């Protein structure tokens, strides 16, 4: 099963990521950082939760940088009420 996870580099998100990986699921992690920085943060979070890093981490976790909130509403007059329309 493929799961999209936001907040994977945070406190709660790192535990959710660990549980998803333990259940043999694959994860798309939506992050604010660049994918390289976020992947390092995800690895560190998994290592510090005590479960360690799965050997197949790179094959099972895809890190995708989402648009910064300030760019969500480009081209729309403020205040834009359509924020959920373009998260990626």
> For the chain, which residues make up each domain, given as ranges?
2-86
Alpha-carbon span 51 to 54, nearest angstrom? 8
pLDDT at residue 27, as a whole number: 92
* Threshold 0.85, pTM exceeds: no
What stretches in the chain show pLDDT beneath 50? 85-88
pLDDT of residue 84: 52
- Distance of alpha carbon 10 from alpha carbon 29, whole angstroms: 11
Can you give the pLDDT at residue 83?
A: 52
pLDDT of residue 7: 85
The 10 Å Cβ neighbour count of residue 58 is 12
């Amino acid at each position: 099963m493929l799961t999209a996870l936001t907040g994977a580099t945070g406190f709660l998100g790192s535990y959710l990521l660990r549980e998803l990986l333990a259940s043999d699921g694959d994860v798309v992690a939506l992050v604010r950082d660049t994918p390289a920085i976020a992947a390092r943060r995800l690895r560190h979070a998994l290592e510090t939760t005590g479960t360690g890093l799965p050997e197949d981490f790179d094959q099972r976790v895809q890190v995708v940088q989402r648009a910064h909130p300030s760019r969500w509403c480009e081209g729309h007059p403020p205040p834009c009420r359509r924020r959920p329309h373009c998260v990626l």
